[in-house]
């Protein structure tokens, strides 16, 4: 009987101790709540802690940086293009007491964050052109230099390649500071707001793809035309060179022949000039020997050749 | 990060200790209160508790791991690989973190398994992750990998909730910023290395800002391509570039074929002319020498030589000539002197 009494008392003491001791994890901070009313200081050191049993409750809050992931929302930009924007944010519970009073727990905080961040993102995106959102401060593309360097760039009328006035980081900064304005009263500190994804909606995307295709095709056409042009150029040059070579050769040949002819004429002239009359005779005789079977020769009966056909009498020679 | 074995033990412990009702954190032994035969049951329970305590007071840290040890929820130390002691009964708890292993996150694709000899990739794409806008507002499909290590397990566990999810979000955000800050054509070609370096550095900066103990080892771009619908057009550009080169090459080839040939032809023409020139001059020399020698002879006896030459020539010529007519001065028609051809035909007819 006595031993069972001891056991009952021991059990009661254990229950009491287990109700008055609580553990705060490394990642947590805690607030004690008594009848729904926060009491005492914030417990932020991890380890074992005491509380009044049964009447005090522990509310734990994460000390760490917490993720917030927004829903993908469809927003028009300043240029009226619809884009899908997916934002992500990081936050922490900076004032657990206020946090407990205003949003109660993380779930409550998340719905408030959804409202605030979503609306800030929408405001900022819809007041900004798409280029501003996509590009950043350190944008260094120089449109003029580009045309000289890149053979593949087609100058586009719809997109200016100018440096953004604000740029992506600045817009993210704006989002952060605009959303942060409402945070202190929730006991929340926004650490970071970032655009995780931004893209065209499907219908616009298809249009952009069609535009990209036609852009590529025009580049392809240009390459082909360039090929044809270069080819004609080379062939033209070739033809010119061929003509130059052959005409040059013909000229040289004619020159050489002409010189030779002149030389021959000079030689002939020198030699034949010694006795022009005899040369005429000599040359005429030579030309006779070219007569052949198709020649009909008509000779006078008193020709030199027939002189002795009539008589062998001596006649004065030389009468031709 | 605790092993399944630890978790099982913890569960076992909770069931045993709390006797229902109490939460895990309420800890503290809450022994059952049996009023029946205490002796054997008590000894049995004590034995079981002792046995369990002796098993749960050691833990092993593998070479690639570090252990973070908490006592009543507060971190007291991190321990290196080896066998270590801890206080049982849920007072000390151990979380193991793989600090030495290089982990990776994939964007735009997923590795199915790396077993067997080659890596298999999941066939479905993740266009949400990989499609992004370039600075000239074109669409680009970028797939990449982020390799990282958990450098400081303590920070990894207690500075941020879900640091790996954060790494993922930040990677996507930073990659889109880097790609959006360049022209699509650059991203596809020359800027790959630059982008992966910038993205690595910026992710690392963000991780340091959150102080979450993650060290980014490297960022590797994988497939960087235009969106699927546009790829045929990109191929067409490549083909047409090849075609351009081919056309130029063909023209050059033709030129290379024809010009040397024409040069050879030209040289032939010139050489021929030179040959002609030599021949002509030689001929002239030969003829004049011959003439000169005949002339010298002629001068010695002009009349005789003249007649001789004349007669010799006729002698030579007349047999070859087809017909010779002798014409008498004052007569009307020519008188055929020789009509060998007609005579021949007559003879031939007679024979027949």
Does residue A169 surpass a pLDDT of 60?
Answer: yes
Q: What is the pLDDT of residue B2?
A: 45
Q: Give the whole-angstrom CA distance, residue A208 versus residue A199.
A: 11
Q: Which of B211, B232, B248, B252 to mutate to test the interface with A (most CBs of A within 10 A)?
A: B248
**B26: DSSP letter:** T
Shortest distance between the Cα of A221 and any Cα of chain B, in A, equals 7
**Contacting residues of A for B344, CB less than 8 Å apart:** none
A198 and B274 within 8 Å at the Cβ level: the answer is no
Q: Which of B230, B272, B274 to mutate to test the interface with A (most CBs of A within 10 A)?
A: B230
For B210, which residue in chain A has the nearest alpha carbon?
A65
pLDDT along chain B (352 residues), means of 10: 50 47 42 60 89 85 92 90 88 91 92 75 82 90 95 93 94 94 86 93 94 94 91 92 93 93 93 92 89 85 85 81 70 54 48 46
Q: Which of B27, B141, B169 to mutate to test the interface with A (most CBs of A within 10 A)?
A: B169
Is pTM beyond 0.95? Reply is: no
Q: What is the pLDDT of residue B291?
A: 85
Shortest distance between the Cα of A240 and any Cα of chain B, in A, equals 10
Helix axis angle, B231-300 relative to B302-317, nearest 10°? Answer: 130
Pick B248's closest partner by Cβ from A234, A259, A302. Answer: A234
Using the Cβ of B301 and the Cβ atoms of chain A, whether some distance falls under 8 Å is answered with no
Q: What is the pLDDT of residue B351?
A: 47
What does the pLDDT average to over A185-192?
93
Shortest distance between the Cα of B149 and any Cα of chain A, in A, equals 19
- Note whether A200 and B139 are within 8 A (CB): yes
Using the Cβ of B205 and the Cβ atoms of chain A, whether some distance falls under 8 Å is answered with no
Least trusted range by pLDDT, from A27-41, A132-146, B271-285: A132-146
Pick A295's closest partner by Cβ from B248, B254, B322. Answer: B322
Q: What is the 3-state secondary structure (H, E, C) of chain A?
A: CHHHHHHHHHHHHHHHHHHHEEEECCCEEEEEEECCEEEEEEECCCEEEECCCCCEEEEEEECCEEEEECCCEEEECCCCCEEEEEEEEEEEECCHHHHHHHCCCHHHHHHHHHHHHHHHHHHHHHCCCHHHHHCCCCCCCCHHHHHHHCCCCCCCCCCCCCCCCCCHHHHHHHHHHHHHCCCHHHCEEEEEEEEEEEEECHHHHHHHHHHHHHHHHHHHHHHHHHHHHHHHHHHHHHHHHHHHHHHHHHHHHHHHHHHHHHHHHHHHHHHHHHHHHHHHHHHHHHHHCCCCCCCEEEEECCCHHHHHHHCCCCCCCCCC
What confidence category does residue A8 fall into, taking pLDDT thresholds of 50, 70 and 90? very high
What confidence category does residue A10 fall into, taking pLDDT thresholds of 50, 70 and 90? very high
- Residue length, chain A? 320
B227 and A209 within 8 Å at the Cβ level: the answer is yes
Does residue A309 surpass a pLDDT of 80?
Answer: no
For A27, which residue in chain B has the nearest alpha carbon?
B158
- Note whether A87 and A122 are within 8 A (CB): no
The SS3 of residue B161 is coil
- Single out the residue of B193, B187, B179 nearest to residue A168, CA to CA: B179
- Note whether A64 and A157 are within 8 A (CB): no
Residue A202 makes CB contacts below 8 A (sequence gap 6+) with: none
Q: What is the pLDDT of residues A251-272, one digit of tens each?
A: 999 999 999 999 988 988 888 8
Pick A159's closest partner by Cβ from B137, B161, B325. Answer: B137
- Note whether A198 and B176 are within 8 A (CB): yes
Q: What is the pLDDT of residue B10?
A: 53
Pick B317's closest partner by Cβ from A65, A197, A291. Answer: A291
Beta bridge partners of A46: none
The rounded percent of chain A whose pLDDT value lies above 70 is 88
Q: Which of A1, A234, A307 to mutate to test the interface with B (most CBs of B within 10 A)?
A: A234
Using the Cβ of B158 and the Cβ atoms of chain A, whether some distance falls under 8 Å is answered with yes
Helix (H) or strand (E) run with residue B219 in it = strand B214-225
Give contacts of B 129-148 with A, CB under 8 A: 129, 131-139
Beta bridge partners of B59: B84
Least trusted range by pLDDT, from A243-247, A308-312, B174-178, B315-319: A308-312
Q: Which of B317, B319, B344 to mutate to test the interface with A (most CBs of A within 10 A)?
A: B317
- The ipTM of this complex is 0.76
Helix axis angle, A106-126 relative to A168-180, nearest 10°? Answer: 130
What confidence category does residue A84 fall into, taking pLDDT thresholds of 50, 70 and 90? very high
Beta bridge partners of B166: none
Q: Give the whole-angstrom CA distance, residue A112 versus residue A126.
A: 21
Q: Give the whole-angstrom CA distance, residue A98 versus residue B253.
A: 84
Pick A304's closest partner by Cβ from B295, B310, B318. Answer: B310
Least trusted range by pLDDT, from A63-67, A73-77, A110-114, B116-120: B116-120
Helix (H) or strand (E) run with residue B121 in it = strand B120-121
The SS3 of residue B284 is helix
Pick A285's closest partner by Cβ from B28, B158, B309. Answer: B309
- Note whether A248 and B265 are within 8 A (CB): no
A216 and B234 within 8 Å at the Cβ level: the answer is yes
User: What are the Cα distances from residue B339, in Å, to A10, A44, B345?
Assistant: 172, 151, 10
Beta bridge partners of B58: B85
For A206, which residue in chain B has the nearest alpha carbon?
B229
Q: Give the whole-angstrom CA distance, residue B169 versus residue A69.
A: 9
Tokens 């991203």 belong to which residue? B187
- Single out the residue of A279, A74, A88, A294 nearest to residue A191, CA to CA: A88
For A160, which residue in chain B has the nearest alpha carbon?
B136
Q: What is the pLDDT of residue B27?
A: 40
Using the Cβ of B159 and the Cβ atoms of chain A, whether some distance falls under 8 Å is answered with yes
**Contacting residues of B for A191, CB less than 8 Å apart:** 210
Residue A253 makes CB contacts below 8 A (sequence gap 6+) with: B269, B270, B272, B273
Q: Give the whole-angstrom CA distance, residue B245 versus residue B231.
A: 21
- Note whether B249 and B165 are within 8 A (CB): no
A197 and B292 within 8 Å at the Cβ level: the answer is no
Pick A67's closest partner by Cβ from B166, B181, B327. Answer: B166
């Amino acid at each position: 009987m006595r031993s069972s009494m001891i056991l009952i008392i021991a059990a009661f003491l254990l229950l009491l101790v287990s109700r008055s001791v609580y553990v705060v994890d490394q990642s947590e901070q805690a607030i004690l709540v008594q009848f729904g009313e926060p009491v005492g200081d914030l417990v932020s050191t991890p380890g074992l802690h005491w509380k009044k049993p049964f009447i005090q409750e522990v509310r734990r809050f994460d000390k760490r940086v917490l993720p917030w992931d927004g829903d993908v929302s469809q927003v028009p930009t300043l240029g009226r293009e619809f884009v899908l924007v997916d934002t992500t944010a990081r936050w922490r519970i900076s004032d657990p007491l206020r946090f407990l009073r205003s949003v109660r727990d993380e779930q409550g905080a998340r719905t408030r964050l959804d409202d605030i961040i979503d609306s800030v993102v929408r405001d900022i995106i819809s007041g900004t052109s798409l280029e501003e959102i996509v590009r950043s401060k350190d944008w260094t593309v120089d449109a003029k230099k580009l045309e000289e360097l890149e053979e593949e760039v087609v100058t586009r009328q719809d997109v200016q390649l100018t440096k953004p006035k604000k740029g992506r980081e600045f817009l993210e900064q704006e989002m952060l500071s605009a959303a942060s304005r409402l945070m202190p009263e929730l006991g929340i500190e926004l650490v970071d707001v970032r655009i995780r994804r931004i893209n065209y909606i499907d219908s616009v995307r298809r249009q952009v793809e069609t535009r990209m295709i036609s852009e590529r095709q025009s580049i392809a056409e240009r390459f082909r035309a360039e090929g044809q042009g270069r080819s004609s150029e080379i062939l033209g040059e070739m033809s010119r060179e061929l003509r130059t070579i052959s005409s040059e050769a013909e000229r040289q040949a004619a020159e050489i022949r002409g010189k030779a002819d002149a030389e021959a004429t000079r030689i002939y002239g020198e030699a034949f000039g010694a006795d022009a009359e005899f040369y005429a005779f000599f040359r005429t005789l030579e030309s006779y020997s070219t007569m052949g079977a198709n020649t009909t020769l008509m000779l006078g009966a008193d020709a030199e050749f027939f002189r002795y056909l009539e008589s062998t009498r001596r006649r004065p020679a030389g009468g031709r | 990060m605790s092993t399944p074995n630890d978790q099982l033990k913890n569960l076992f412990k909770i069931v045993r200790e709390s006797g229902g009702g109490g939460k895990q954190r309420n800890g503290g032994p809450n022994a059952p209160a049996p009023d029946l035969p205490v002796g054997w049951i008590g000894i049995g329970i004590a034995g079981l508790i002792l046995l369990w305590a002796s098993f749960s007071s050691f833990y092993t840290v593998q070479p690639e791991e570090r252990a973070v040890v908490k006592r009543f929820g507060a971190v007291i130390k991190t321990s290196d690989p080896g066998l270590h002691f801890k206080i049982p009964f849920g007072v000390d708890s151990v979380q193991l973190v793989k600090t030495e292993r290089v982990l990776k996150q994939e964007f735009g694709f997923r590795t199915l398994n790396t077993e067997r000899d080659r890596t298999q990739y999941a066939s479905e794409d993740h266009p949400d992750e990989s499609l992004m806008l370039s600075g000239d507002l074109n669409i680009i499909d970028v797939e990449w990998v982020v390799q990282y290590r958990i450098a400081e397990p303590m920070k990894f566990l207690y500075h941020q909730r879900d640091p790996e999810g954060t790494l993922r979000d930040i990677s996507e955000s930073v990659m889109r910023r880097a790609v959006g800050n360049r022209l699509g054509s650059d991203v596809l070609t020359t800027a790959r290395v630059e982008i992966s370096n910038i993205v690595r550095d910026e992710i690392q900066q963000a991780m340091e800002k959150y102080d979450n103990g993650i060290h980014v080892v490297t960022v590797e771009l994988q497939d960087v391509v235009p969106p699927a619908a546009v790829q045929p057009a990109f191929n067409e550009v490549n083909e047409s570039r090849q075609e351009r080169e081919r056309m130029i090459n063909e023209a050059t080839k033709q030129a290379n074929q024809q010009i040397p040939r024409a040069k050879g032809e030209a040289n032939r023409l010139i050489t021929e002319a030179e040959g002609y020139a030599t021949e002509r001059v030689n001929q002239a020399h030969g003829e004049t020498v011959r003439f000169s020698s005949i002339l010298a002879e002629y001068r010695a006896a002009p009349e005789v030589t003249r007649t001789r030459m004349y007669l010799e020539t006729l002698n030579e010529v007349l047999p070859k000539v087809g017909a010779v007519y002798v014409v008498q001065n004052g007569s009307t028609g020519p008188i055929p002197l020789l009509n060998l051809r007609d005579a021949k035909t007559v003879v031939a007819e007679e024979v027949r």
